[in-house]
Structure 1
Amino acid sequence: MATISLLTFSDGRDFVAADIDDFCRQKEGLLRQAFETAGHTVVAGAQPVTSNEIAVAEARRVAAAGPDLTVFHYPVWAFPHFTMLAATATTGPLLLASTIDPVQPGMVGLLAAGGALDQIGRQHTRITGDATDPAVRRRLQTTVTAAAAVSGLRGSTFGRIGGRPMGMYTAASSPEVWIDTFGVDVEEIDQWEIVRRAELVDESRVATARAWLEKHAAGVHYDGDKLTPETLGRQIRSYYAVRELIDEWHLDFAGIKGQPELTNHFATMDVTEAFLNDPYDWDGPKETFVCSTESDMDGALTMQIMKLLSGLPVLFADVRHYHGDLDVWDLANSGQHATWYAARSDDPLENLAKTHLYPEVFFFPAGGASVHHIAAAGEATFARLSRLDHRYRLQLTKGRFVDLGHETHERLARASTYEWPHAFSRFDAPAEAFLDRFGANHIHAIPGDWTEELRAVCRLLDVDVDDLESTR
């Protein structure tokens, strides 16, 4: 749940302000009730803002609560310079809310204040309407959810383990751009730390984890070459090594380069990445931790936003193939998908029962296990932060994971790289438009329709939205 600061703005003329004071407080109470009913904490101004002094003092007071969202409320006409003064004392996401009333022109107050904020480039969102209206409450909740995600980003740290992979420009971004646009710092960590620390992991922890996987997975397909108890153990050690790095460097999300150094000479990070993104591991329930393969920065950032919005594990995949005859996309990437997607169950064993550990393929001579499963069917939102002429945009489409039946799943998976996890998907975006405009080889998804929340995040961050469903 979020913390919300709430200031109500009024008229600066003493005799007018006194006459409408009760009305302002009544409307503020309804707005506050809408937030509190949804479970949020509201820190409200002590009185409506009717002077310069009150605007600054009350804004500073509510800002001290460190809110996820600041709400400027306009039930009546309000002097716009009160808003400008209060805005100087607040930071972070800002929402302007007003009633629509033919007697009391709160909408006029909102428009005057919003226009003034536009002139100085202060980003904000606007919502008008009655706070008791369910449609208005849904819009308010969408904005609060988005603001909490933006607040969760700011001050966080991304661990880039290993640097840019295989020349991928779309996987790398400048730290100064991230800190300015998203408030996220980037910590550079060498992959050698995984190798060094893996050797120090206690063998009993490795044995316990390996036994859990052997017992509960649909199959651990040892081949005596690429996948052996030793190489799987090395992947488990790597998982613990990365968990140690997360704790030591206070990382909020991360990415691991992997290729080619680790995949050629040590082990793939498939097991590490899959179970970091899961809400559990062999030690029990845990919080999901976003980790992108190929140290994809913009991919991990997209995933972290989607996680902060939904609380769900987030899919990471290559846009591997489009089956035009079926209108189906094969989203697959070397073992990266959280095993949760196999059944989308709160019970880890249901997901593991549909998950196979297969020997790694030709591309990864160091060996280890690839975490294979087919994503369970259901509605989903697909998104990716990318850059167009140096400016960030979120490319977005609704869609769904589809169940094509076991035989078709087998046939399509074997047509690409069978050992990897696959999410067979249909996008609402037309295939031609998607392929013409999509700005990366990686895509990300969460179950459900989160398009409005993602749009709200973009408004708060001043990031463009590219609706891939539009054929513009």
Structure 2
Amino acid sequence: MAKSRLIGDYPVIGIRPTIDGRRGVLNVRGSLEEQTMGMAQAAKKLFEENLCYTNGEPVKVIIANTTIGRVAEAAACADQFKKAGVDITLTVTPCWCYGSETMDMDPMTIKGVWGFNGTERPGAVYLASVLASHAQKGLPAFGIYGHDVQEADATEIPEDVKVKLLRFGRAAVAAATMRGKSYLQIGSITMGIGGSIINPEFFEEYLGMRIESVDEVEIIRRMTEGIYDRKEYEKALAWTKEHCKEGFDKNPDFARKTDEQKKEAWEFVVKMMCIMKDLYNGNPNLPKGCEEEAVGHNAIAGGFQGQRQWTDFYPNGDFAEALMNSSFDWEGARESYILATENDTLNGVAMLFNKLLTNRAQIFADVRTYWSPEAVKKATGYELEGKAKEGKGFLHLINSGAACL
């Protein structure tokens, strides 16, 4: 599968095995080393076997070089994780630990804490205590705890804990992947739609992203001045002619385009998509002298205004939207993009969340009509059956939206 050209490494998960720091005659710490490190290794294995980045690669997970019983080891772990590019930490423990000394104090990491549910050692006490310390210091953290008490020497992760760990890991990887990336709006507000009025505070403060904006005329400029990859365009056009068949033209005669006009429109929309991909993530194969355009906007998502200034005059963005959001094009299988129709930034973000959480291409569709069983019978004489009848009708999603193929 072709990989995204986004700038920046994918986030790494760091496992922090924290431990009771008491040594002395009883050597409490020594008796817990194996169990504590075992929890870390089990969590690492769970993440690596179940979580992937959006390009299909398994999530990278590392474990602290030692268990963490006092602040010096917490500092050593922080240094190790910083060098490894860790954005997400999971602290694991079966026992009581010195909370403020062993906790992750980095304000930028996404934090989870898994406390072992066993009666021999107070893992629950540490979990409650350290979560309170996180709250007191304004450092959000997700608490993970099992429903049932386990034996002290248990090595397996209970099913309910697996679910909680994977929910945390999946969401944390999604949130960390967005950081520092761009939402690229091509154009601006569409027909008064509130979602296409972009909100910088939401993107910058809540998602950790930046906003990039280009006018729609940039697409025309690049077409006019030949600022696109000619070889890719020719390959894309040939692929489109082979695979994208024209359907029935239901326009009245006075509004119907000629065959020559349709041919030009196909060439236009294919070129348009090539340029949009370049706007998102750049293209090193642009003509000489176009080094500025070649770098792109590092966009993980974006939107195209279209309506109505564009679509009243140029071919619309449906082709680019459908294929950008799909997991393939003329280059074969590839990671899907997120391109919102009508620059509906909020729908674009919802699509981005779903892509990052599921690693799947996305569909957005406006609701055209709700059809109740009674309305269907009145209009057609047909009585709904099966799921449509049981669900008391269906929604007709044909109005508008950026849907993958």
TM-score with structure 1 length normalisation? 0.65
Instruction: Specify every segment of 5 or more residues in structure 2 that has no aligned partner in the other structure, as ranges.
Output: 1-9, 49-58, 151-155, 250-255, 283-295, 374-387
Residue 402 of structure 2: aligned partner: 336
Q: Give the one of 257, 268, 271 matched to 2:319.
A: 271
1:224 and 2:272 correspond: no
One-letter amino acid of the counterpart of residue 294, structure 1 = E
Moved more, 27-36 or 256-265: 27-36
The change in CA–CA distance for 1:205 and 1:335 in structure 2 (over 3 A counts) is farther
One-letter amino acid of the counterpart of residue 85, structure 2 = G
One-letter amino acid of the counterpart of residue 182, structure 1 = L
Instruction: Specify every segment of 5 or more residues in structure 1 that has no aligned partner in the other structure, as ranges.
Output: 340-472
Q: How does 1:144-293 map to 2 (within 5 A)?
A: 144-199=169-224, 200=226, 209-217=236-244, 219-221=246-248, 223-225=256-258, 228-246=262-280, 247=282, 248-293=296-341
The change in CA–CA distance for 1:56 and 1:212 in structure 2 (over 3 A counts) is closer
One-letter amino acid of the counterpart of residue 193, structure 1 = E
Residue 312 of structure 1: aligned partner: 360
Moved more, 130-139 or 285-294: 130-139
Residue 18 of structure 1: aligned partner: 27
Specify the SS of the correspondent of 2:84. Answer: coil
Moved more, 22-31 or 222-231: 222-231
Cα distance in 2, alignment partners of residues 57 and 16 from structure 1: 26
Residue 404 of structure 1: aligned partner: none
Please tell me whether the aligned partners of residues 213 and 220 of structure 1 are also in contact (alpha carbons under 8 angstroms): no
Residue 134 of structure 2: aligned partner: 117
Cα distance in 2, alignment partners of residues 314 and 16 from structure 1: 60
Deviation at residue 47 of structure 1 after TM alignment: 2.7
Deviation at residue 324 of structure 1 after TM alignment: 2.5
Percent identity over the alignment? 25
Instruction: Please tell me whether Structure 1 or Structure 2 has the larger radius of gyration of its CA atoms.
Output: 2
Question: For residues 104-145 of structure 1, what are the alpha-carbon distances to aligned partners after superposition, in whole Å with 9 as ceiling and x for unaligned?
Answer: 001110001001212233222111136532332232122211
Q: How does 1:353-372 map to 2 (within 5 A)?
A: none
Cα distance in 2, alignment partners of residues 28 and 77 from structure 1: 15
Specify the SS of the correspondent of 2:161. Answer: helix
One-letter amino acid of the counterpart of residue 23, structure 1 = L
Please tell me whether the aligned partners of residues 111 and 142 of structure 2 are also in contact (alpha carbons under 8 angstroms): yes
Cα distance in 1, alignment partners of residues 133 and 230 from structure 2: 63
Question: For residues 35-92 of structure 1, what are the alpha-carbon distances to aligned partners after superposition, in whole Å with 9 as ceiling and x for unaligned?
Answer: 2254254322233322233223323322432224201122111122124xx4323522
Question: For residues 378-407 of structure 1, what are the alpha-carbon distances to aligned partners after superposition, in whole Å with 9 as ceiling and x for unaligned?
Answer: xxxxxxxxxxxxxxxxxxxxxxxxxxxxxx
Please tell me whether the aligned partners of residues 6 and 72 of structure 1 are also in contact (alpha carbons under 8 angstroms): yes
One-letter amino acid of the counterpart of residue 181, structure 1 = Y
Q: Give the one of 22, 25, 36 matched to 1:27.
A: 36
One-letter amino acid of the counterpart of residue 18, structure 1 = N
Moved more, 136-145 or 211-220: 211-220
Please tell me whether the aligned partners of residues 279 and 287 of structure 1 are also in contact (alpha carbons under 8 angstroms): yes
Deviation at residue 288 of structure 1 after TM alignment: 0.7
The change in CA–CA distance for 1:49 and 1:90 in structure 2 (over 3 A counts) is farther
Question: For residues 137-159 of structure 1, what are the alpha-carbon distances to aligned partners after superposition, in whole Å with 9 as ceiling and x for unaligned?
Answer: 23212221111111111111111
1:36 and 2:45 correspond: yes
Cα distance in 2, alignment partners of residues 146 and 17 from structure 1: 41
Aligned length: 337
1:91 and 2:108 correspond: yes
Q: Give the one of 111, 123, 126 matched to 2:143.
A: 126
The change in CA–CA distance for 1:19 and 1:269 in structure 2 (over 3 A counts) is same
Residue 75 of structure 1: aligned partner: 94
One-letter amino acid of the counterpart of residue 127, structure 1 = I
Specify the SS of the correspondent of 1:278. Answer: coil
Cα distance in 1, alignment partners of residues 145 and 162 from structure 2: 11
Please tell me whether the aligned partners of residues 188 and 196 of structure 2 are also in contact (alpha carbons under 8 angstroms): no
